[in-house]
Structure 1
Amino acid sequence: MTETSQGVNSVDIAVSILTFVASQNGQARAIDIATGCGLSKSRLHKYLVSLCRTGMLRQNEKGLYSVGATALQLAESHTGERNAINELNSVLVTFRDNFNHSTGVVVVSDNGLMLKHYNRSFRNVDIDYLPNTLVPLHASAAGQVFMSFSGYQAQNQAQNELIEQIKSQGYAVRYNPTKGIPGAQSIACPLRNSKGELIAIAVTMGFFTKEAIPQIASQLLSSVASLHPQG
């Protein structure tokens, strides 16, 4: 018998459950996990209890399961060094769990701004994004933050005034709905290192009322401020 054939079946099942949840934008119902992993409801329940008890999964008030704090910590520690982007995403997962708003991490890639992480809210109706979605520079809150904190040169007076406003308040808001997502807004703020250089952009998005935006922005700023700048 080879070494690979002597594994523990229960570990394989637990990994398949975690992999399935991660593949569903990071959250799933028990019935969908059972179907996706080929498990009976009673057998799945035992795994879910253990995975939640160890922090590999967590269950919210609506019964949905998402990746837990232990799993996120393991994912972030694979290099043995602090990873600011993963740490920011952990903070935004907590923000999502506390306030039930979708969140994401936008980074600068070779192709432009890219949504690297996306954490969907637990609302029945919300916005969904695919991994590595490109983010428009001029039609997004993340793009406004990038222009304000990256050394970008304003193209006109109106843009310059917008940049100065964002620098002053510390965050940007996209009030106008994106094409295909009527009524949706987004709020973004920067994560910078100790030199003031932009590392990544924290974003929360959803169907916000205009009156609620200042409070949500304040909560987002406080969450990001809990991280210690690097470099």
Structure 2
Amino acid sequence: MADQTIKHVSTARILLLGEAGVGKSRLTDLLAMSIDTPTHSSRTVGNLWWSVQVRLHEYPSNKGMPPTPEWTSASSPSSSSHSSEPFASFKGFRDRAASACEMIPYFVEFYDLKSSMRMPREHRNRLFRNIDGIILVYDLLDMRTHDNLHDLLYHPLRQICRYRHNRLRPILSRHHVPILVVGTKLDMLQSRRLHRSGGIAYQLSTDEILLNCLDTDSFAEKSRNEAKLRKFLNNAIDFKHFFPARRN
């Protein structure tokens, strides 16, 4: 991780959307849990309307990445050589690539609206326009919570498009804010549902994770879920940089 003081670490904001009872609070606990923030008190930020948890994320910066060696091309004469030079070249390329990929620390804030609090519209809109990624959460035991995600997504996405793209874009635009879909209560599912081509993850061309929010290993290191989460957070940071929020 880069040698930076806390005041120099940038912040990415992630919004969790889903109906009450689908497991957003439990999911936020899992998402924010890390070596740097192992306990709930170490990662929770007080807020009147939102439950906010924070974690540190390492974002890879590939600036200075050396070009791919010519011998890796299928049409390169050296690719068919019996010499050991290509393998030596690959090792050198790999070592240079690893050293060139600097890991930059970011704070990631996960926002979950407190269902018992009615947040003023102007405060809600101010937060929405500064959101860098959205996690849609539904209950695998109640697919109505999945179908209702379209309605929950509309207003936040409209604000993000207005203040990040400078105009109202179609919801399914390919440059929309990064979105991750999460289905909860996998442990209570009696039979595994088949992949639905009409699901919201398919419509948004985004990743979907099915998990048990009570399982602390749901995002274990090097697991498929952890890879999807890391990809999503990296995309959210990319979105933050390429589409900065307008002030008004």
Q: Which has the higher helix share?
A: 1
TM over 0.5: no
Q: Which has the higher contact order (CA 8 A, sep 6+)?
A: 2
Per the normalisation by structure 2, the TM-score is 0.24
